[in-house]
Amino acid sequence: MKYTDKLSQRVIKVSNHIIVGLDPDIEKIPHIFLKYKNPVYEFLNRIILLTRDKVCGYKFNLAFFEYYGIDGLEALNMLLKEVPEGLLTIADAKRGDIGNSSEMYAKTYFEKMNFDAVTASPYMGVESIAPFLKYEDKFVYLLALTSNAGAEQLQMLKTESGYLYETVIKLFREKFPENTGYVFGANHLKEIKHITKKYPDLALLIPGIGAQGGSKQDIENNINNNLYLMNSSRGILYSADKNCTDSEFDEKVIDAVNRI
């Protein structure tokens, strides 16, 4: 099944656009999980159990898993098996490399780990991302206009065909209209309006809701397709106190998801 079909089916089913960002930070994980051999796995597995009926899927932030070495890799592989059919899994990798290296990354995420989608950096051009794009049922979110401070230093440079982020979209979308989407920070509401007016069926991945200050309502009011996802991470993962009990943890996480 095409990724965008899977995505819109899920959005309709759960009536929201939330993807939960899994950024495991052992310093912030409640103490109840620290007694286990692999706290990262136990913590996130509980998050998945508590949220899986209510959200579109999960975005795994690979920086955090890589930091925990073999434990992190084992947690990642086990967690991917815990995500039920129909939910989306995104590898937040932001990779972008020459052909044979990109091919190895693509094989790792799409074949070995069976992610539905990855995030990638466009800086090295279309050819550098092509190894990801040959998988017809998979999907690539290219960095366009990101949520971090200073994102505009390069991304909003003026080029002959508009701002750099517009040139990125034009380049990739022209060649791969079917399986590319774009990352826009929730703080760039004006540009989100502009770009979805230009391309009404553009699939966006929108971080920066909640902890980073973007408004969910503003996004919902300004996009008229079923193909966008809003990432929420810290607001759900770290909603409970570090000294919480098991039942307090469950309650806080469920509350956080329902609120969002």
Give the residue numbers marked as catalytic: 94
Exactly one of 30, 57, 122, 214 binds a copy of itself (CB under 8 A); that residue is: 122
84 contacts a copy of itself (rule: CB under 8 A) = no
Binding letters toward a copy of itself, positions 179-218, x by CB under 8 A: ----------------------------x-----------
**DSSP state letters, 1-70:** --HHHHHHHHHHHHTS-EEEEE---TTTS-GGGTTSS-HHHHHHHHHHHHHTTTSSEEEEEHHHHHHTHH
Rounded distance between C-alpha atoms, residue 178 and residue 138, angstroms: 10
Both tokens of 257, joined, read 């998801």
CB of residue 248 vs a copy of itself: minimum separation in angstroms? 25
Max CA separation in the chain (angstroms): 57
**DSSP state letters, 215-239:** -HHHHHHH--SS--EEEE-HHHHT-
Residues of span 136-175 touching a copy of itself by CB under 8 A: 143, 146-155, 157-160, 164, 167-168, 171
CB of residue 223 vs a copy of itself: minimum separation in angstroms? 22
Beta pairing class for 18-22 and 180-184: unpaired
Q: Which is nearer to a copy of itself, 101 or 224 (CB)?
A: 101
Rounded distance between C-alpha atoms, residue 38 and residue 161, angstroms: 49
Q: Of 7-15, 96-104, 239-247, 251-259, which part binds a copy of itself (CB under 8 A)?
A: 96-104
Rounded distance between C-alpha atoms, residue 179 and residue 172, angstroms: 10
Q: Of 3-11, 65-73, 218-226, 242-250, which part binds a copy of itself (CB under 8 A)?
A: 65-73
Residues that bind a copy of itself (CB under 8 A): 23, 61, 63-64, 66-67, 69-70, 73-74, 77, 92, 94-102, 104-105, 107-108, 112, 121-128, 143, 146-155, 157-160, 164, 167-168, 171, 207
